[in-house]
Amino acid sequence: MSEIPVLIVASAEFMPSYAHPGDAGADLRSRERVNIGAGQRITVATGVSIALPEGYVGLVHPRSGLAAKHGITVLNAPGTVDAGYRGELAVTLLNTSNIDFQVNIGDRIAQLVIQQVERARFVVVETLPGTHRGEAGFGSTGIK
C-alpha cells in the first residue's frame, strides 16, 4: 500500500507530509490557533480526513521536538485511527510544562505513522504456556 486517499477539510497546506526521505511519520498540522495552558490538554483539528484500507491503522505520535523543547505531547500516544474512521483527524495535545504554549495555524503538531495490522482470533484456554518471565509485571526487571 502506498497511496492513502486524503480529504482536505481546510486547505492544501494541511496535507500530511514527510519532512525527510525515509521518515516513518508524516507531519500533521494544526488548522486552528489555540493556547494550551500549563498542565492543560486540548484537542486540535488537523484539517484532513483519510481513508485507510482494511488491515491498516494510523498511529498518531508526538513530535520529539515539541516534547523535548516545550513539553507538548500527544495525550493518548499513540492515538489510533481505525481503517473505518472517515472523520477529520484531531490530536489531543497535553502541555506537561509550567508555561502556556501557543499553537498556530499550520504548526506541525504530531506525526502519523501508517502500519499494517493483523486481527487476532481470541481463544479461551484453561492455562497459558509458561515463559521465563511468568507473571512478573511492572518494574520486575529493575532499573540497572
Spell out the SS3 assignment of 23-88: CCCEEEECCCCEEECCCCEEEEECCEEECCCCCEEEEEECCHHHHHHHCEEECCCCEEECCCCCCC
**Class of the CATH domain delimited by 6-116:** mainly beta
> Tens digit of pLDDT for each residue in 3-60?
778 877 888 899 999 999 999 999 999 999 999 999 999 999 999 999 999 999 999 9
pTM, whole model, 2 decimals? 0.86
> Tens digit of pLDDT for each residue in 82-106?
999 999 999 999 999 999 999 999 9
Closest CA to 90 of 141, 142, 43: 43
For the chain, the domains span 6-116
